[in-house]
Amino acid sequence: MWALIQERARLAQQHGAIYPIQTSCEVIEDRGIPFIIRLVVHLAYKEIAVSWPRATGRTADSHRVDPFFPPYDPYLYVTDISVTHVCLLNKFNVLDHHILIVTRDFEDQTWMLTVQDFEALRRCMTEFPGLGFYNSGPQAGASQSHRHLQMVPLPLTPESPVIPIERAFQDLAPTQGLNVLSRLPFAHVLATVDPQWWKQAQTGAQALHNHYEAMLTATGLLSTMPAPRDSLPPYNLLVTQEWMLLVPRSQECFEGISINALGFAGMFLVKDQQQHYTIKQHGPLKALQHVGIRPMT
């Protein structure tokens, strides 16, 4: 799949189907965590970066405004992942080879993830080293209402071999249970992942989903099993082959800066120097604390 993603991305850019957003990059350390701040470089892309998530709407009832409903743009379509999911390229990407793991039929972004979602993610994550993530609705930074998980290759920058937020894991004793990290000033839960799960079709996905349910319960987002079409409170989910991190959300923006799951991985996208200054002035963790909820006691 990795070779296919690379080839599709090359053709998509050649035919103007994707619009890579060029950025400059700075690292700002906060409590020992090296946050990556990406500043949009070209003026032409500044409004794209801001308006694209809202431009196509979030309406479940109209396929005309659903960019994830067939027929797919042939230059954005990568491959069928399973009978329930397809792989598409992200049209406006900050990171190269950013893919979307999209349900074939409409499933709302606020509904609970399914075992099939984790099976599709599992299949992609066995193909190349990557970071999977999920924004569960507008308050969590979701750009569309049609269910889509996302995945970006690692490392996030050539200079950084780790995911920045992993620095917060250093004072954590190894455990197979659920964990809370003392350095993070917002509610969250971290779980370790058994490497064997990625090799096990369906049973691995079920194990990942069981972890996900336990994390929702631990953060207070899931008290009873919801009906299939019930919305959950907003949250972000990050997934690697070693761990999963779930963060409840209170709002999308800090001082006008939209923050999605990648913010909790340690990477921010800012559209201008004012936003860049705002993050430096307040600190990345303050921004994340603002859009999260109070730590659990």
Please report which confidence band the pLDDT of residue 227 belongs to, taking 50, 70 and 90 as the band edges: confident
pTM reported for the whole predicted model: 0.92
Residue 239: count other Cβ atoms within 10 Å of its Cβ: 26
Q: In this predicted model, what pLDDT tens digit does every residue of 80-107 receive, in sequence order?
A: 999 999 999 999 999 999 999 999 999 9
> Could you state, in order of their start, the residue ranges of all structural domains in the chain?
2-291
Mean pLDDT score of the chain? 90
* Burial class, 38, CB count within 10 angstroms (exposed 0-12 / middle 13-18 / buried 19+): buried
The domain made up of 2-291 is a member of CATH 3.30.530.20 = no
Q: In this predicted model, what pLDDT tens digit does every residue of 171-221 receive, in sequence order?
A: 776 666 899 999 999 999 999 999 999 999 889 999 999 999 999 999 999
Pick from 90, 145, 72, 84: nearest CA to 118? 84
Residue type, 294: R
CA 142 to chain centre: 9
What is the SS3 assignment for 208?
helix
Q: Is residue 70 scored above 60 in pLDDT?
A: yes
Q: Is residue 145 scored above 70 in pLDDT?
A: yes
With the C-alpha atoms ordered 118, 143, 6, 263, is the resulting torsion angle positive or negative?
negative
Q: How many whole angstroms separate alpha carbon 26 and alpha carbon 99?
A: 24
What is the SS3 assignment for 13?
helix
